[in-house]
A and B are shown apart, each in its own frame.
Chain A
Amino acid sequence: MHISEGVLSGPVLAGGWALSAVGVGLGLKRLDYDRLMTVAILSAAFFVGSLIHVPIGPVSAHLILNGLLGAILGPAAFPAIAVALLLQAVLFQYGGLIVLGANVFDMAGPAVACAFAFGPLLRRAGKARAVGAFCCGFFAVLLAALLTACALALSGEGFVATAKAIVVAHVPIMLVEGAVTAMAVGFLAKVRPELLVHAPTR
C-alpha cells in the first residue's frame, strides 16, 4: 500500500504532509521517556514487517502491522510509523520522499484512530481485550486501505474501483493482522503489561 512517487496531485501531497506533521507532533508530545525503547522496537517491527510476505495462494501480500503499533503504543504509533516509512522509502525505495506525508497519514492515522476507538476494550481483561486487539489489527488495515483509495481518488483514480481492489486484496491481511495483534497484545498483557499504553486495570 505504498503509494509511488508521481501519482498523487499537489494538494493531496501537501495535505498528507500537513496531517502527518500534526500527527507526529502530537505523538511525540504524548510520548513518555520511559517508553522510548518500546516505540523504537515497534518501529523496527513495522520497518521489517513489510518484508514478511504471507503467501495466500498464488499471490502474496505483506504484513503492515499498523494496528499492532496502535494497540501497543497509542498516539506514539504516529512517529514510530513515520520513521519506519522514511527508512523504507530511503533504503528500499518503497514509496518515496515526496509522497511520504500521504503514506504516513494513510498508515498511522488509522492506527491511532483504532487505538482510541478500541481503547476501552483493550483496557479490559480476557476475551474483551482479545476482541479489541483483533479489531485494532483488522480495522487499522481496512481504514488504511480506504484512506489510500481516498488519496488516489482525490488525484484522479476512480474511488469505488480502487477502493474495492485494495480492500479485497487486503482482506486476508486484515484477518492475519487481527490474529497477530490479538496474540501479541494478549501475550504482552500477561508478561509485560507495562509495555501497553492501555495498561490493563486489575
Chain B
Amino acid sequence: MKNLILNRMKPVAASLAFLAVLAAPALAHRVNVFAYVEGNDVVVECSYSRSERVRFGEVEVLDAATGAALLAGKTDEKGEFRFPVPPAVRAAKADLRIVLKAGEGHQNATEVKAAEYLSTAPDAAAATTAAPIASAPPSPPVAPVAAAGPVAAASAPVQTVSQTGGQGGAAPALDAAALERIVEAAVEKKIAPLRAILVAEKEKGPGLTEIVGGLGWLVGLAGIAAYFAAKGKKPRS
C-alpha cells in the first residue's frame, strides 16, 4: 500500500523537481573550456560534457608564468566569454591561462600561448580596436565592392580606409593594413567550421574504447584478486 502511494506520488514529485531544476545549474561530470584567438580578441567557449553551455560561469584570466590575475568575467547565455588581449600582456608576450569556475565543484583550465595572439599582427590589431570590425566578426567585410550591398554595417570602416584609393573603382588600391584585415577576416571565415569541429571533438564524452577498457580493467583486477585469494586457500586434496 505504501509503495502504491509512493508510485502515484512519483510523477508529481518528479514534475515539481523538474521545475526546480530549471533554475538550478546543470550538474555534469566535467566542464570543458576551449579558447581561441579571433582578431585581437580571445574567445573562450565553455560547456559541460553533453554540449550544454555553461551559462554565467566565472572565467579568470591569469598570466600562465606568474599566476597573476589579469582579468575576470562571466560567460554569456551561449557559454561564451570574449576579451581583448590587454596591451600590457601583448607587450610582455605572456602566455594566458584561462580558468573556468562553473560552480558546484566544476572547474577546468586551458592555455592560450603568446604565439597564438601575436600572429594576428599587433599593428593591424591596433587598428581593429579603433574600428568596429572587432565587435562584428560574423559579417566581415569581404571586399569593398561586395560590402556596398548587404553588409552595410561593415562597409563603413572599409570605406574610410580605402578613401585614399578613390571611390567607385573596380579595383581600388588598398593600403597594406586594410588588405591584411580583409585576408584575416576571410581566413577567419574559412576556419570557423574547423574550429567548430575541434570544439565538438573536445566536448565529446568518453568513447567505446574508454568504456570497454575500463570494464576490462575491472575484470582484470577481479581476476588478480581471485588469484591471490585462491592462492591463500590451500587446495583440498
Residues of A in contact with B (beta carbons under 8 Å apart): 1-8, 33, 36-37, 39-40, 43-44, 47-48, 50-51, 53, 56-62, 83-84, 87-88, 91-95, 127, 130-131, 134, 148, 151-152, 157, 162, 165-166, 168-172, 175, 179
Contact = CB atoms under 8 A, between A and B. Distances in A.
Interface in B93-149: 101, 103-109
Nearest to B230: A33
B221 to A, nearest CB: 6
B21 A56 contact: yes
B20 interface: yes
Contacts of B205: 51, 92
Interface of A is mostly: helix
B107 A4 contact: yes
B229 interface: yes
Interface residues of B, number: 47
A171 B13 contact: yes
B180 to A, nearest CB: 39
B21 A60 contact: no
B152 interface: no
Contacts of B211: 48, 51, 91
A136 B26 CA distance: 24
A151 B104 CA distance: 10
Nearest to B222: A40
B27 interface: yes
A168 B20 contact: yes
Nearest to A60: B50
A87 to B, nearest CB: 4
B104 A166 contact: yes
A169 B108 contact: no
B25 interface: yes
Interface in B45-87: 50, 52
Contacts of A43: 218
- Interface-centre pick from B13, B17, B229 (highest chain A CB count, 10 A): B17
A39 B221 CA distance: 11
